[in-house]
Amino acid sequence: MSQRLQGKVALVTAAGQGIGRAIAETFINEGAKVVATDVAEEKVHDLKAAKRVKLDVRAQDGVDAMARMVASEFGALDILMNCAGYVHDGSVLVCSDKDWDFSFDLNVKSMHRTIKAFLPAMLDKKSGSIVNISSAVSSIRGVPNRYVYGATKAAVIGLTKAVAADFIKQGIRCNAICPGTIESPSLEERIATASRETGRSADAVRQSFVDRQPMGRLGTAQEVAALALFLASDEASYITGQAHLVDGGMAM
Active site residues: 149
Name the DSSP letter for residue 140.
T
Cβ–Cβ under 8 Å, residues 84 and 36: no
DSSP per-residue codes, 98-113: HHHHHHHIIIIIHHHH
CA–CA gap between residue 241 and residue 175 (Å, rounded): 5
Nearest to 39 by CA among 26, 27, 22, 52: 52
Question: In the sheet that 51-54 helps form, which strands lie side by side, from edge to edge?
Answer: 51-54, 33-38, 9-12, 79-82, 128-133, 172-179, 243-246
